[in-house]
Amino acid sequence: MKCLIKLFFLSIIIVNASGNFSVYADPDTVKKSLLSMAADGDIEAVKALLARGAAINEKDGDGRTALMAAAWCGHTNIAELLLSKGADVNAKKNNGMTALMIAAFSGHTDTVELLLARGAGINEKANNGLTALMCAAQKGYTFTAQALLAKDADVNIKDKDGKTALMFAAAKGDADTVQSLLSRGAEVNVKAKNGATALTLARNNKHRRIIELLNAAAAQK
């Protein structure tokens, strides 16, 4: 899948704990760079730029690296190339997001698995407290969440609002992820700073199957 460069590199993407983002385009900054070629999926151009000495871990104004570009767009082959050439798998954007979080937020499970295999910190937090697992859960990417759970992602970490991955999955209506989280020991009755629980969020969004799962899990406590 071709990733539009203008939506990633020529913009400021602000992700908050509810999964929303805002884009402010900057069309005057168009240029061929390692970051933009990684986003575009042009592996031959990436190889050529690296051969010419392109700085593999160079960041743009928002702290993005070429590896993050590949992660955002799901170009696993380019991510693998960059990692083999020394890309920093745990580099962070200015907002604290890593390539793993970015891949999880975009639902690119293959890229997530590659990054984990290369040492990505699975429980790293962004500035707002989000983890890769939360990113996948809030967007409804079940397979991505399950890939992270298979590598023992912490299910009970809280973001800055006190929300957990279970709360995000419950609000999204992703019953499969909710079930996977519960099977891994996700706390059912934990409360966010606003007092909400996963059950509250499921009820608010009328997700009946998830309400059933959460009630059943609570009854076993």
DSSP 14-78: EE-TTS-EEE---GGG----HHHHHHHT-HHHHHHHHHTT--TT---TT---HHHHHHHHT-HHH
Average predicted confidence (pLDDT) for the chain:
88
Superfamily classification of domain 1-131: Ankyrin repeat-containing domain (1.25.40.20)
Distances (CA, A) of 205 to 136, 155, 202, 209: 19, 22, 5, 11
Q: For domain 155-221, is the CATH number 3.40.50.300?
A: no
Flag whether pLDDT at 92 surpasses 70.
yes
Band (pLDDT 50/70/90 cuts) for residue 220 is confident
| Candidate from 5-9, 46-50, 158-162, 168-172 with smallest mean pLDDT | 5-9
Distances (CA, A) of 7 to 56, 105, 212: 21, 15, 39
H-only helix segments in 74-219: 76-84, 99-106, 109-117, 132-139, 142-150, 165-172, 175-183, 198-204, 208-219
113 and 83 in contact (C-beta within 8 Å)? no
Flag whether pLDDT at 14 surpasses 60.
no
Q: What is the pLDDT of residues 115-152, one digit of tens each?
A: 999 999 999 999 999 999 999 999 999 999 999 999 99
Greater confidence, 174 or 27? 174
Q: What distance in Å separates the CA atoms of residue 211 and residue 206, rounded to the nearest whole number?
A: 8
Flag whether pLDDT at 2 surpasses 70.
no
CATH 1.25.40.20: which residues of the chain?
1-131, 155-221
Query: Among all chains, which residue has been given the structure tokens 């409804």?
Result: 140
Q: What distance in Å separates the CA atoms of residue 187 and residue 97, rounded to the nearest whole number?
A: 25
pLDDT recorded at residue 32: 56
pLDDT recorded at residue 30: 31
pLDDT recorded at residue 29: 33
Q: What is the pLDDT of residues 150-205, one digit of tens each?
A: 999 999 999 999 999 999 999 999 999 999 999 999 999 999 999 999 999 999 99
Q: What distance in Å separates the CA atoms of residue 41 and residue 108, rounded to the nearest whole number?
A: 14
Q: What is the mean pLDDT of residues 72-86?
A: 98
